[in-house]
């Protein structure tokens, strides 16, 4: 029996999504079909809508596509060999955990060889065209079909809107601080970019006991939110990169760190400049954590003297170097106990039909985490 669903479909060359009906394919042996309860809109999906294929499609022209990679859902159907029960409440994320490959077995689940596979076909439009799912998750829909290695059972009474953020913002932001940089109590931290990811980084740094947390963002509302969730100082680099803006930020960071620069620098700005700035603001011997990829072909230049001879430790953070089982156990209690300020992170909750409002809010940076409830 074909499954008809409403989905938000991105078409080549269009900057808005079309909310339309499509037919989902049946789950394969190792797949599950899930009903999406809530999904978080991510800025990286705006990049994908725009057609700048920073998205790991690996298909030259994957469009039309259904995006979305962070959701809470319920399993409604399972393939014969899938390991998840029908009825399970699950976190959906873009990073799979096959548990069999070299990376999974050596503790680097974030690099599982089943990540960045060519965007799979998840169904067809009414005109017969195939629809693909970059990230293989397709959560901007009432239902989705995905591999069982991308869904993780969650046992919690937390609301759907909160858990919708787990698969991307929470795991990427808090994971960068806790799993990648392993920031220590009493340390100094600078976070460049205060969107979803940066604000979760600030919250994690506060919980780990960082004594100085400098938040860098050109938008005043975001600097205010940063202070609300734990930043101890803020700095405005200006909307366009400039020498004056960089100096203003540098003054604040040096002032907070005895003139040395931060022990831990985090790039969460989604740009080449944010990577360079996080690097420049980190002290000799400090740890710089990078999350921005900008587009698939973007490169960045960094001062080699500081990199090679001044002890900076450069680390990459794909989805916070997640291990979902471990990270659910370590981060859910922070949400449940109120240790993190979740309300500060939540945008409005909208029906899927209004997804273009969420897209605009994400694109224009007027909301932190827009939530959709299909």
Q: Which residue has the tokens 């965007």?
A: 119
Instruction: Choose the stretch contacting Zn ion; rule: CB under 5 A; options: 6-14, 107-115, 177-185, 255-263.
Output: 107-115
Between 34 and 281, whose beta carbon lies closer to Zn ion?
Answer: 34
Nearer to Zn ion, 262 or 268 (CB): 268
Specify the residue, 106 or 185, whose C-beta has the smaller distance to Zn ion: 106
The span of 55-63, 91-99, 330-338, 349-357 binding Zn ion (CB under 5 A) equals 91-99
Q: 133-172 mask for Zn ion (x: CB under 5 A)?
A: -----------------------------------x----
282 vs 318 by CB, closer to Zn ion: 318
| Residue 114: CB minimum distance to Zn ion, A | 6
Using CA atoms, how far apart are residues 352 and 38, in angstroms rounded to an integer?
9
Instruction: Specify the residue, 70 or 276, whose C-beta has the smaller distance to Zn ion.
Output: 70
Q: How far is the CB of 168 from Zn ion (least distance, A)?
A: 3
Q: Can you tell me which of 91, 104, 174, 281 binds Zn ion, judged by CB under 5 A?
A: 104
Please give the distance of CA 86 from its chain centroid, rounded to a whole number.
27
Nearer to Zn ion, 168 or 275 (CB): 168
The residue written with tokens 């806790």 in the block is 178
- Three-state DSSP at 356 gives helix
Among 19, 59, 76, 101, binds Zn ion (CB under 5 A): 101
Total residues at interface with Zn ion (CB under 5 A): 7
User: In angstroms, what is the minimal distance from the CB of 134 to Zn ion?
Assistant: 12
Contacts of 16 (CB under 8 A, 6+ apart): 49, 356, 359
Regarding 92 and contact with Zn ion (CB under 5 A), the answer is: no
**Chain-centroid distance, C-alpha 67:** 13
Determine if 254 is a binding residue for Zn ion (CB under 5 A): no
Closest CA to 130 of 139, 138, 120: 120
* Contacting residue, 22, 90, 98, 335, with Zn ion by CB under 5 A: 98
- Report if residue 174 touches Zn ion, rule: CB under 5 A: no
Rounded distance, CA 191 to CA 201, Å? 7
Smallest gap from Cβ 58 to Zn ion, in A, equals 17
Strands 130-132 and 31-40 turn out to be unpaired
Stretch that binds Zn ion, among 104-112, 216-224, 286-294, 341-349 (CB under 5 A): 104-112
Q: What is the DSSP letter of 220?
A: H
Quote the least distance from Cβ 253 to Zn ion, whole Å. Answer: 27
Give the list of residues 6+ apart from residue 353 with CB closer than 8 angstroms, or none.
Answer: 6, 19
Distances (CA, A) of 125 to 132, 158, 342, 358: 11, 35, 37, 23
E strands present in the chain: 3-10, 18-24, 31-40, 65-66, 70-78, 89-93, 121-125, 130-132, 143-147, 151-153, 188-192, 212-216, 233-235, 262-267, 282-290, 313-316, 346-351, 369-373
Near Zn ion by CB under 5 A: residue from 24, 42, 88, 214: 42
The C-alpha atoms of residue 233 and residue 256 are separated, in whole angstroms, by 8
Q: 164: how many CB neighbours lie within 10 A of its CB? A: 31
Nearer CB in complex with Zn ion: 197/263: 197
Work out whether 112 is an interface residue with Zn ion (CB under 5 A).
Answer: yes
Nearer to Zn ion, 112 or 122 (CB): 112
Distance of closest approach, residue 344 Cβ to Zn ion, in angstroms: 18
Residues that bind Zn ion (CB under 5 A): 42, 44, 98, 101, 104, 112, 168
């Amino acid at each position: 029996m074909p499954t008809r669903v409403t989905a938000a479909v991105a078409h080549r060359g269009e900057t808005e999504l079309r909310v339309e009906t499509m037919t989902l394919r049946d789950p394969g042996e190792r797949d599950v079909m899930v009903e999406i309860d809530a999904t978080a809109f991510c800025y990286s999906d705006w990049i994908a809508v725009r057609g700048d294929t920073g998205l790991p499609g690996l298909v030259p022209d994957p469009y039309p596509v259904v995006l979305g990679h962070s959701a809470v859902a319920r399993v409604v159907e399972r393939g014969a060999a899938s390991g998840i029960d029908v009825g399970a409440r699950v976190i959906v994320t873009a990073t799979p955990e096959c548990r069999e490959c070299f990376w999974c077995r050596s503790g680097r689940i974030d690099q599982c060889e089943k990540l960045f596979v060519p965007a799979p076909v998840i169904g067809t439009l009414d005109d017969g065209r195939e629809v693909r799912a970059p990230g293989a998750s397709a959560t901007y829909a009432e239902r989705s079909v995905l591999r069982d290695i991308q869904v993780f059972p969650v046992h919690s009474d937390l609301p759907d809107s909160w858990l919708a953020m787990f698969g991307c913002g929470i795991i990427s932001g808090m994971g960068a601080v806790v799993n990648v940089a392993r920031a220590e109590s009493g340390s100094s931290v600078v976070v460049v970019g205060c969107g979803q990811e940066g604000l979760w980084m600030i919250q994690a740094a506060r919980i780990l006991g960082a004594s100085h947390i400098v938040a860098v963002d050109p938008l005043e509302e975001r600097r205010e939110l940063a202070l609300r969730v734990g930043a101890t100082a803020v700095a405005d680099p200006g909307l366009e990169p400039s020498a004056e803006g960089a100096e203003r930020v540098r003054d604040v960071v040096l002032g907070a760190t005895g003139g040395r620069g931060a022990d831990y620098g985090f790039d969460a700005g989604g740009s080449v400049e944010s990577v360079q700035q996080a690097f420049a603001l980190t002290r000799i011997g400090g740890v710089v954590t990078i999350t921005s990829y900008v587009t698939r072909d973007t490169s960045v230049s960094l001062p080699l003297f500081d990199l090679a001879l001044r002890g900076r430790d450069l680390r990459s953070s794909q989805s916070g170097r997640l291990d979902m089982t471990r990270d659910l156990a370590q981060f859910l209690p922070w949400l449940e106990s109120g240790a993190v300020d979740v309300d500060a992170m939540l945008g409005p909750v909208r029906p899927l039909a209004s997804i273009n409002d969420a897209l605009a809010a994400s694109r224009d940076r007027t909301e932190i985490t827009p939530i959709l409830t299909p």
